[in-house]
Structure 1
């Protein structure tokens, strides 16, 4: 495979994940502000439930942000040089599709070709 395709895949994934991380950061900030601005009313249970739901949402967003940041970091570890063996960072053509062994992302379109960006830990990746 051409190294330029691998570099293009990495660049596109970097853009997508960076945008997702920015959106998650904005959502985290908004959720924190919402949780912190919730005032205690005479209905104490309603206040506690509202704050707890906001905290659960905040925890979910933080977990997603951590996972996305970890995937971005893993993406930056990929070497763009060609190797003789299939491994992390390889692009593999099969009769079932073209796979980019890197991060667990899923289907990605590049120049009219569909690539399946999968983890080495996935059943197909192994």
Structure 2
């Protein structure tokens, strides 16, 4: 399988696993909320319900973000190579390998390490628009772009 397909598969796996986990947590909290019984200590009951609702809201925000990341993975530009670095580019440098897509972190493909990074990350911002052979500085280190595909 091609490196791009493997990287995309790994990114989808990461996002899908997070989505499933968040959905399960929301369901569990909604179940807890439904089972919360009114006690004689009314304030305690209301506080508990508000805490559960706040937790559900936080999880739903996270779920929305991961669904947005999943949508980014389906964009057409992630499927094709380009000579100038952009969303979807695989970049080989003298310091590390990058996949400009979504922020997943380290991904190992065929015993090679890649860093899946979001387009808004500091490294992606430096890479954006550059091409094979370009040199730039990141964290006081000179980085040379060896290949882009």
Verify same fold: TM over 0.5. Answer: yes
- The alignment status of 1:108 with 2:107, answered yes or no, reads yes
| 1:46-125 paired onto structure 2 within 5 Å | 46-77=44-75, 78-125=77-124
Which stretches of structure 1, 4 residues or longer, exceed 3 Å deviation after superposition?
Answer: none
Task: Count residues with an aligned counterpart.
Answer: 124
- Alpha-carbon displacement from aligned partner over 1:29-87 (angstroms, at most 9, x marks no partner): 11111112201101112111111111111011111111111101101114322212111
Residue aligning to 2:36: 38
Distance (whole Å) between structure 2 residues aligned to residue 97 and residue 32 of structure 1: 43
Task: Give the TM-score normalised by structure 2.
Answer: 0.77
> Mind listing any 5+ residue stretches in structure 1 that lack a counterpart?
none
**Displacement, 1:10?**
0.3
Larger strand share, 1 or 2 = 2
Q: Which residue of 2 aligns with 1:16?
A: 14
Shift of 1:16: 2.1
Aligned residue for 1:79, secondary structure, equals helix
**Aligned-residue RMSD, C-alpha:** 1.5
* TM-score (norm. length: structure 1): 0.90
Q: Which has the larger radius of gyration?
A: 2
